[in-house]
Amino acid sequence: MLITITVNGKNVTVPENVGLTYLNELGFFGDVVIYNGFPASENVELKNDDTLCFIKKGVKPLEDELEHYMVSRHTPFVYEKLKNSLVAVAGLGGLGSNIAVMLARLGVGKLFLVDFDVVEPSNLNRQSYYISDLGKFKTDAIKSQIENINPYIDVCVQNVKVDENNVCELFFEYDIVCEAFDNAESKAMLVNTLLTETDKTVVCGSGMAGFFDANDIKTVKKFDRLYVCGDEINEAKSGSGLMSPRVSVCAGHQANVILQLLLES
Amino acid sequence: MLVNSVEMKLEETCNIKQFLESKNYNPLFVAVELNGEIVSKNKFEETNINDEDTLEIVSFVGGG
């Protein structure tokens, strides 16, 4: 009996009851061997549908193998599912820039990223930008960053201020909209408009300022199509700033609930 | 009535805007679900609530 496995993104047929080292005989070698999403430490017996990547450190991979290497630490079949999904992110500040990068690392196939502003120095304490981005539109800066992280993502951007008159049309194509604005009124506007006028699901951030306990930041399903991440209390204000750790924790909550929604759908 | 899963007594019928203001919510910063249905912000004044209702109020704070 023969079984079929995936090695470096290609189907390979091997006999039953052979171990991982059998693949060395077929010419596959690596400094790191990822077996079903986890580095292999022993000569495990191969099973049908196993996924393996043999990665050589310091060697530039072939174009058609790079994508498979990049996601070899994903749980098997997650990347394949995400490749056909789309997500919109409204606002590219501390939450949105970090969320966009996380969704790109996950391999969400199409991202729509919206912001009207340019990168300025006070953004760099928490937002995913560089000194070299100063003065650039956040949309352009994040798009070029994502091209350097995962070039297999289709990134669409728009430089526009989101308001109740354009919000439904802007996000028309996207079932999941991630709210990542700075301002409480804008957050409420986006949620109210999208939940009353469309059937989209909205994932919000609310309450991540200061250096309070990171464990106070939670994901809560508030309504049927509304998730809120944050501590819901600590607003950004004079005397309580926004800093990378709690903002990133909140961004991680938002990206993770989006991942769950995409995998459940 | 139930407000954010907490039981309370509504003394007299009022609209959503009045209720929010009486509980120190800013109507501009919230999303409200009345008996499982989201209520459009421009209907806060015309939507009355009574003591049998279930209200979920999400109040957003700034920062991102």
User: Cβ of A254 under 8 Å from any chain B Cβ?
Assistant: no
Burial class (CB in 10 A: 0-12, 13-18, 19+), A200: middle
State residue A188's pLDDT score: 98
Contact A232 B61 (CB under 8 A): yes
Burial class (CB in 10 A: 0-12, 13-18, 19+), A105: middle
CB B51 within 8 A of CB B36: no
State residue B11's pLDDT score: 86
Q: What are the tokens at A118?
A: 């340019």
From chain B residues 28-57, the ones with a CB under 8 A of any chain A CB are 28-31, 33, 36, 38-41, 56
Q: What are the tokens at A123?
A: 């953004």
Contact A183 B62 (CB under 8 A): yes
Mark out the alpha helices in A117-218 (DSSP H runs): 138-149, 167-170, 184-197
Report the C-alpha gap between A215 and B45 in whole angstroms.
37
Contact B62 A237 (CB under 8 A): yes
Q: What ipTM goes with this model?
A: 0.95
Q: Mean pLDDT score of chain B, rounded to an integer?
A: 96
- Could you say which residues of chain A have pLDDT below 70? none
Report the C-alpha gap between A63 and A51 in whole angstroms.
19
Q: Are strands B48-49 and B14-15 parallel, antiparallel or unpaired?
A: antiparallel
Query: pTM here?
Result: 0.95
User: How many beta-carbon pairs below 8 A join chains A and B?
Assistant: 85
Q: pLDDT confidence of B12, banded at 50, 70, 90? A: confident
Sole residue written with tokens 């301002």: A183
- A34 DSSP β-pair partners: A39, A53
Report the C-alpha gap between B42 and A258 in whole angstroms.
29
State residue A48's pLDDT score: 96
State residue A64's pLDDT score: 79
Where does chain B show beta strands of DSSP type E?
A: 2-3, 6-7, 14-15, 30-34, 37-39, 48-49, 54-59
Express as a percent the part of chain B with pLDDT over 70.
Answer: 100
Segment B34-51, tens digit of pLDDT: 999 999 999 999 999 999
Q: Residues 6 or more apart from A59 whose CB is under 8 A from it?
A: none
From chain A residues 44-63, the ones with a CB under 8 A of any chain B CB are none
